[in-house]
Amino acid sequence: MKKWLAFFTVLTIIISACNTGSKKVSEVFETKGGAINGYDAVAYFKENKPVKGNSQYQHTWKDAVWYFSSNDNLSAFKADPEKYAPQYGGYCAYGTADGHKATTEPDAWTIVNDKLYLNYNKDVKTEWLKDQDNFIKQADANWPKVKTEPF
């Protein structure tokens, strides 16, 4: 009986370690649909709205696949990805300010000082807008640590 107990204890430890290791550490919020849910990061700036990207126009940057709605937007991103990529890798800006990664919705976004910020949803965006400048400062301070954590 003690051998079985020891066996199951070791097995539990191994399974726990495997589950912990299965979370991906990624600097970019990416789903099966691509970086930032497959939306065109450049379109937020050029069209002032979220636009779904097309697999015909894709680019891999920071180990994530980014999709664009046109060749012009793809070219613009390739030329200056830091200009167009959302802050905090496309993770929720409000969540980053709070010290953790969170998913985002394409229609919960703002551009502040020529930088794109995404939020978890429109309700979180409403909270974000109430003290946006301070949230940005806090998220900027948190991001170096948060980006290295698994999601």
One domain for residues 98 and 146: yes
Alpha helices in the chain (DSSP H): 2-21, 41-46, 71-79, 81-84, 93-97, 122-130, 132-146
Q: Indicate the length of the chain as a whole number.
A: 151
User: pLDDT digits over 77-112, tens only?
Assistant: 999 999 999 999 999 999 999 999 999 999 999 999
One domain for residues 150 and 100: yes
> What domain range includes position 122?
86-151
Is residue 29 within 8 A of residue 150, CB to CB? The reply is no
One domain for residues 116 and 76: no
One domain for residues 39 and 78: yes
One domain for residues 62 and 91: no
pLDDT for the residue numbered 23:
66
Model pTM score: 0.84
One domain for residues 106 and 66: no
Is residue 125 within 8 A of residue 109, CB to CB? The reply is yes
Rounded CA-CA distance 106/110 in Å is: 10
One domain for residues 127 and 76: no
Is residue 109 within 8 A of residue 119, CB to CB? The reply is yes
User: pLDDT digits over 5-40, tens only?
Assistant: 344 333 333 443 444 444 678 999 999 999 999 999
